[in-house]
Amino acid sequence: MPAARPRPPFIGEILGEVSQTPDVRQTLIAELEDMLGGRTVVCFFTSFVFPVMIVPQDADILEGVLHKTPLRKGLTLVIDSPGGDALAAEAIINVCRSYSQGDFEVIVPKRAKSAATMVCLGANKIWMGETSELGPVDPQVIVHTEEGWSLEPAQELVEGYKALVRQATAAKGRVEPYLQQLAKYDARSVRRYEREHDLAKSIAVNALQTGMMKKETKAAIEKTIKLFVDPKLTLAHGRRIGVEMAQKAGLCVERMAIEGDLWNKVLELHTRASYVVSKSFCKIVESREYAFSVAPPPESAAGATP
């Protein structure tokens, strides 16, 4: 009997309506707001355990919470996520900048990767600790094989296809080996992969131009953040981009000292919120007053909310 194929990332089903934030995390969020001079803090966590990703509906959930939450002195989004859809990241940036009237910052307690990194690029400032991680924003596409599916870098697939075309064109002898390899590609899919890579780069550049790199031209920004968009530089989509690398790439990054009170509070909030999205829910969006939760894949639900 053949082994079951792994399932692609699950979008999730929204549970109920906006509810009150649980007391412990509510207190931590309120204490963070005091430490940040009265800024409104909202948490956006998606699971690293359940197979979920950031999707456009998440922008609607975030707006639902922000609509009910009075923004006092700007917005600080605490974000922890493996990533997801680039257009969803663009929508989240728009929601955050609209409700904060452009006074938008992010805190990365541990990992904001892929599309979550894109959200960070749309902020005016990124707060990171020594162990915090951003990551490349080049798109990954689902490739179906006989064994199941895998995520592959879109740009590498495009470059591999173009290299085979060049080799087949230049071949003076038999071209059958190249044609056999090219038969594995769908030309329409390759064009789509190329558009997705261009889209991700465009969103990243535009995001930076609305926030921390307002005075830079798009050409200058694209050159500055090559580390985030060129997979040949990081070699792996999950590669860690820490504080120093992010600063060298021209991002406005504020370092949180490991021994500092702010980092201790952020880390405690991360510990509690990440436990929730590993056991009971796959996504949470929470302010001091309100929370929104998303159900995990039905067969994966386990544990209880602390």
Quickly list H helices, 80-186: 86-100, 115-121, 154-170, 176-182
Same domain for 229 and 120: yes
* Residue 197 within a domain: no
Residue 178 is predicted with a pLDDT of: 72
6 falls within a domain: no
Same domain for 232 and 172 = no
The reported pTM is: 0.82
Write down the pLDDT at residue 58.
94
pLDDT at 150: 63
172 in the same domain as 34: no
pLDDT of residue 197: 84
Burial label, 166 (beta-carbon count in 10 A; 0-12, 13-18, 19+): exposed
Radius of gyration of the chain (CA): 21
Task: Return d(Cα 173, Cα 165) in angstroms, integer.
Answer: 15
Q: Residue 56's domain spans which residues?
A: 13-137+213-300
**131 and 146 together in one domain:** no
Q: Are residues 120 and 227 in the same domain?
A: yes
Q: Are residues 106 and 220 in the same domain?
A: yes
If one counts the domains in the chain, the total is 2
- In tens digits, what is the pLDDT along the chain, a chain of 306 residues? 334 434 444 333 444 444 556 788 999 999 999 999 999 999 999 999 998 889 999 999 999 999 988 887 999 999 999 998 999 999 999 999 999 999 999 999 999 999 999 999 999 999 999 999 999 887 776 666 667 666 666 667 766 767 777 777 777 777 777 777 777 777 787 788 788 888 899 999 999 999 999 999 999 998 888 888 887 777 777 788 999 999 999 999 999 999 999 999 999 999 999 999 998 899 999 999 888 888 887 765 444 333
> Residue 43 domain-assigned?
yes
3-class SS at 150? strand
239 and 151, same structural domain?
no
Q: What is the pLDDT of residue 19?
A: 53
Q: Which residues contact 263 (CB under 8 A, 6 or more apart)?
A: 129, 256, 257
Residues 130 and 157 in one domain: no
Q: Residue 254's beta-bridge partner residues?
A: 127
- 198 in a structural domain: no
On whether both 182 and 282 belong to a single domain, the answer is no
Predicted pLDDT at 236: 74
For residue 306, being part of any structural domain is answered with no
Q: Does 268 lie in the same domain as 130? A: yes
Tell me what pLDDT residue 151 has: 65
Mention every residue, 6+ apart, whose C-beta is less than 8 A from residue 37: 73
Q: Are residues 110 and 252 in the same domain?
A: yes
> Residue 88 in contact with residue 110, Cβ under 8 Å?
no
- DSSP letters along 5-71, please? PPPPPB--EEEEEEEEPPHHHHHHHHHHHHHTTS-EEEEEEE-SSSSB-B-HHHHHHHHHHHHHS--
The residue assigned the tokens 């990243």 is: 204
Per-residue model confidence (pLDDT) at position 232:
75
CATH number assigned to the domain comprising residue 291: 3.90.226.10
50 contact partners, CB below 8 Å, separation of at least 6: 10, 277, 278, 282, 296, 297, 300
* Pairwise CA distance, residues 57 & 44, whole Å: 13
Distances (CA, A) of 264 to 9, 111, 121, 123, 182: 32, 16, 24, 22, 53
Report the pLDDT value the prediction gives residue 5, as an integer from 0 to 100: 38
Domain for residue 175, yes or no?
yes
